[in-house]
């Protein structure tokens, strides 16, 4: 039969009518043409059946015990799950005002009784095809819009990545070429250039670590082996090295960590995450502003790491958004800061895989980021 629906998943039709004979006859007719059917004997049951089954289309009588067909359609319009379900009225009322009222109330079609079976099936098929076409068009439009946005972000990522590599690479090659070709007459000048090359090499190394850790996160093999890190030789030294990048800003930075002691965490991953938290604060702290790193090892939750700054802060509605990868990049040409915009994403991933977390807390004058490194579990081994 040509008009029989040929689909892997047949559309589900809900038939609502208080006349059992008519309800049974319409259901049998609909089933013969390839549709699945559920039925209800009044508006109240129809509403519950609609919520339970989420049909592809509803055929409903108008004159029923409350709620009648019009009232039922209006009731469904208030429910986000039901409001978009196509609706066809079946009724003996043929007055034109009733038809206008039905369409105004959101019905997709209006069929008067008695009706010809072929007309009923044709109307049902037409509504389902129209809805399907609209959904397909909507998906295609959404897909096209998403592809445009993705292409824009991709271009921004590549452009920024190109800048992040080219700039430090140039600052490495130039002084090394000058040194090799004996272009320096002043040893102090040579030292300044070589120091610039070393700083740029450190930037490239940090960028490489970002890419490696992001790859490890995506592949689910981020290192979780706990190693012993010394507060002074590992943490303090790493922070002081990063502070050198921001020396020109003359930031009043407070490093509040224990004079002695150790932390048990994956060495490279933990230090890189910690540096990103500090770097984020230093980046947004104004010139001669204030920033602080405090590590409190005695909290019942484990080791608590707090990073403050008196920069512009982060609005509440963006405090989760900033943990998305490349979020900074998505600001396009308006970006005013270096980096790929992955630091907070990496930091959170590192702490979460250790059963901790990183979050942005309420802070009146700037930004307050807090990270929790849980205590060692019983039997957990620390290496190194």
- As to burial, measured by CB atoms within 10 angstroms (0-12 exposed, 13-18 middle, 19+ buried), residue 264 is buried
Architecture of domain 152-218: Orthogonal Bundle (1.10)
pLDDT at 7: 46
Q: In degrees rounded to 5, what are phi and psi of residue 222? A: -65, 135
Helix/strand/coil percent split, the chain, to 5: 50, 20, 30
Dist CA 63 CA 68 (whole Å): 6
Q: Do residues 347 and 325 touch, judged by C-beta distance below 8 A?
A: no
pLDDT number for residue 147: 77
Question: In tens digits, what is the pLDDT along the chain, a chain of 384 residues?
Answer: 444 444 447 899 999 998 888 888 889 988 988 899 999 999 999 999 999 999 999 998 888 888 888 888 888 888 888 988 888 888 765 555 555 555 555 567 777 777 778 888 888 888 888 888 877 887 777 777 777 766 776 676 666 666 677 777 888 888 788 777 777 777 787 788 788 888 888 888 888 888 889 889 988 999 999 999 999 889 999 999 999 889 999 999 999 998 888 899 999 999 999 999 999 999 999 999 999 999 998 778 899 999 999 999 988 888 998 898 877 644 544 445 566 678 899 999 999 999 999 999 998 889 999 999 998 878 788 886
CA distance between the termini of the chain: 76
Q: What is the pTM of this model?
A: 0.57
What 3-state DSSP class applies to 69? helix
CATH of the domain spanning 223-373, picked from 3.30.70.1290, 3.50.50.60, 3.40.50.720, 3.30.565.10: 3.30.565.10
Per-residue model confidence (pLDDT) at position 1 = 41
Rounded CA-CA distance 192/190 in Å is: 5
Q: What local confidence, expressed as pLDDT, does residue 2 receive?
A: 42
Q: Is-contact 255 293, C-beta < 8 A?
A: yes
Domain ranges within the chain, ordered by starting residue:
12-115, 152-218, 223-373
Q: What is the DSSP letter of 171?
A: H
Question: What is the DSSP secondary-structure string of 283-341?
Answer: HHSPTT-EEEEEEEEEETTEEEEEEEE-SS---GGGTTGGGSTTTTGGGGGG--S-S-S
Domain 12-115: which CATH number of 1.10.3720.10, 3.20.20.150, 3.90.1150.10, 3.40.50.2300: 3.40.50.2300
Contacts with 370 (C-beta within 8 Å, 6 or more apart), sequence order: 304, 305, 306, 307, 358, 359, 360, 361
Residue 204 near residue 168, CB atoms below 8 Å = yes
């Amino acid at each position: 039969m040509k008009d029989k629906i040929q689909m892997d998943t047949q559309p589900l039709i809900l038939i609502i009518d208080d006349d059992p004979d008519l309800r049974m006859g319409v259901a049998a007719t609909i089933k013969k043409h390839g549709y699945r059917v559920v039925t209800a004997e009044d508006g109240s049951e129809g509403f519950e059946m609609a919520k339970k089954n989420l049909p592809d289309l509803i055929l409903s009588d108008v004159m029923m015990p409350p709620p009648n067909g019009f009232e039922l359609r209006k009731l469904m319009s208030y429910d986000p799950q039901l409001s978009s379900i196509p609706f066809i009225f079946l009724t003996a009322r043929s007055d034109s005002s009733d038809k206008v009222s039905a369409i105004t109330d959101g019905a997709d079609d209006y069929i008067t009784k008695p009706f010809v079976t072929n007309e009923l099936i044709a109307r049902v098929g037409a509504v389902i095809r129209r809805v399907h076409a609209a959904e397909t068009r909507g998906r295609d439009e959404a897909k096209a819009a998403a592809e445009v946005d993705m292409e824009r972000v991709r271009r921004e990522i590549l452009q920024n990545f190109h800048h992040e590599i080219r700039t430090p690479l140039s600052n490495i090659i130039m002084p090394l070429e000058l040194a090799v070709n004996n272009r320096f007459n002043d040893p102090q000048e040579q030292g300044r250039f070589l120091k610039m090359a070393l700083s740029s090499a450190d930037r490239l190394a940090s960028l490489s670590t970002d890419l490696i850790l992001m790859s490890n996160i995506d592949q689910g093999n981020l290192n979780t082996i706990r190693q012993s890190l010394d507060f002074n030789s590992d943490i303090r030294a790493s922070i002081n090295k990063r502070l050198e990048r921001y020396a020109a800003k003359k930031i009043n930075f407070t490093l509040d960590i224990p004079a002695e002691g150790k932390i048990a965490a994956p060495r490279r991953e933990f230090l890189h995450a910690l540096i990103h938290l500090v770097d984020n604060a230093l980046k947004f702290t104004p010139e001669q502003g204030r920033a602080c790193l405090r590590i409190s090892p005695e909290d019942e939750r484990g080791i608590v790491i707090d990073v403050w700054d008196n920069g512009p802060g982060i609005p509440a509605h963006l405090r989760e958004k900033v943990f998305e990868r490349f979020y900074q990049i998505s600001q396009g040409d308006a970006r005013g800061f270096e980096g790929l915009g992955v630091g907070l994403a990496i930091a959170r991933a590192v702490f979460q895989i250790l059963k901790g977390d990183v979050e942005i807390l309420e802070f009146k004058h700037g930004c307050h980021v807090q990270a929790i490194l849980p205590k060692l579990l019983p039997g957990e081994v620390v290496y190194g």
